[in-house]
Amino acid sequence: MSQNEQLDNFRATVREWMVQNVPRDWRARQAGDNIEEFIASQREWLSRLVAAGYATPHWPEGWPGGGRSLAEQVALFEEIARVDAPRMSLYFVSLYHAAMTLVECGTPEQQARYLPGILKGDVWVQGFSEPGAGSDLAALKTRAERKGESYIVNGQKVWSTLGQFADYCLLLVRTDPTAKKQAGITFLLMDMKSKGVTVRPIRQVTGDEEFAEIFLDDVEIPVENRVGAENEGWGVAQVTLSSERGLTLVELTERMYRSLWRLIAAAEAPPAGPDVETSRAMVDLIGRIEALRALVGEFMARRIAGQEAIGDASILKLAYARTARAYTEMGLRLQGISGQRFTPYILGAGYETGNWMFDFLNSYQFNIAGGANEIQRNIISERMLMLPREKMA
């Protein structure tokens, strides 16, 4: 059987399973401010995916469903979006960032201790960004001093997604304050229940609290929880940041395309009826979404073939951020004055819920998430186009 036939068979199997197993009421269960129901719904969906081998296709062979090719992972994410299955908002960092950091850089003892817990529902959060060290991550100042067999950590992290629900944290700290930016950084695994850890959720413009601040006051972390060597955490962090390999944008783009029916339905029954200007704007937007899908497809094809170019991911992320905002803006426009009202929807939702004011406000976060748009433009201009960096007067 050829590779294409194997891939088609895998896709068909996934599609059949999704149709039979996706909870039909998941959007209703995760809507509003019922946090307990959101967590319960996410745990149930994780359990189903783990049992089927669809939660960890990117893990090594030997784990449930592990050892799948990147092409199969892409197919899986496309099918998840096709049937409007729940996004793994609560567990994405656990399944990808934490797991692959441990697989590629962790000790056997760390892998044995933490990986099984992820499959059972342990929640991980990323403790990277800080006030003044977001886009410029290497400027982080959270300090860790080694005392015997422990590090004593003091500092603050911010924009930690769903950190208020986390059991463990992937933590970047500075262990050599005299070293240059990327040097002197160490990667630690922190128990969020440790003494001295304070988590404060951040309320967003949507009314949700999807992000959190983490305050660290004399937090004691065992040296055995260090990943990699001391002062060499920057390289480990690059493994963490590259762990999902563009699969998020595969899913988000496909979800946007699959939810075009929401826009079409709104366009067919606006307050004053459809008009030529609206029709033209709709055609333009649909073309942009189709172009984005093609861009995502080409990007993943190059990754599968091992031919990714510098700046490819920046182009893709920038294109998605702009298209998501245009998509949600169109929905808001079509809904008219009634669209100015909204209720909080889903923690970690995408931008295609049909709650247009929520979707529109929520879409702005992707201007920053995954690297600010301005940083992506700098990468494209400097690394792809080889344009000189302008010197400030």
Q: Which residues are catalytic?
A: 244
Assess contact for 159 and 187: CB atoms under 8 A.
Answer: no
| 266 vs 360: CA distance, rounded Å | 15
Q: Which helix (H) or strand (E) holds 221?
A: strand 211-222
Nearest to residue 166, comparing CAs of 256, 39, 251, 10? 39
| 361 vs 302: CA distance, rounded Å | 33
The C-alpha R_g of the chain, in whole angstroms, comes to 22
Assess contact for 60 and 374: CB atoms under 8 A.
Answer: no
SS3 label, residue 213: strand
| Strands in 72-184 per DSSP E | 124-127, 143-147, 150-161, 168-174
| 383 vs 386: CA distance, rounded Å | 5
The DSSP bridge partners found for residue 171 are: 127, 188
Assess contact for 81 and 255: CB atoms under 8 A.
Answer: yes
Instruction: Provide the token pair at 385.
Output: 């186009």
| 153 vs 225: CA distance, rounded Å | 13
